[in-house]
Structure 1
């Protein structure tokens, strides 16, 4: 606890700058092609859970996995919509 307080109570520790990997043009977001590839994988997962979008999963664990995939889909889709392509 004392080590943590010594580290984070030090005002100089806030001056440390991290290097963020930046793609082309100074943009931190992943390239559109990578987002599109990830989006296709998530859609394939959801199609697998739902028998090609015809029914919902019977197992509660599969339902939770599908919800997780749907959240990931929403995140990736919002990233894709923000791109200029």
Structure 2
């Protein structure tokens, strides 16, 4: 399998499969993620935590103002970027 959107930021094929799965559904439990990528839940948890500590996966906090109270919510946003090249007309 080829994962160009995660190439260069993941250490190996399992990391790329984890990132691809989380890009599709970032609400997967570690057990569900393990089923999707063909690994164990413990391995997925270690890999996701390592990707977080390496800054590949970063949490994003959002705040919603409701009439009666403020509610804090967290989300995991996964994305990739490519270096900007001078004269790049794809943007």
Give your verdict on TM over 0.5: no
Query: TM-score, normalization: structure 2?
Result: 0.26
Higher RCO by CA contacts (8 Å cutoff, separation 6 or greater)? 1
Query: TM-score, normalization: structure 1?
Result: 0.27
Higher percent of residues as strand: 2
Question: In terms of Rg, which structure is larger?
Answer: 1
Higher percent of residues as helix: 1
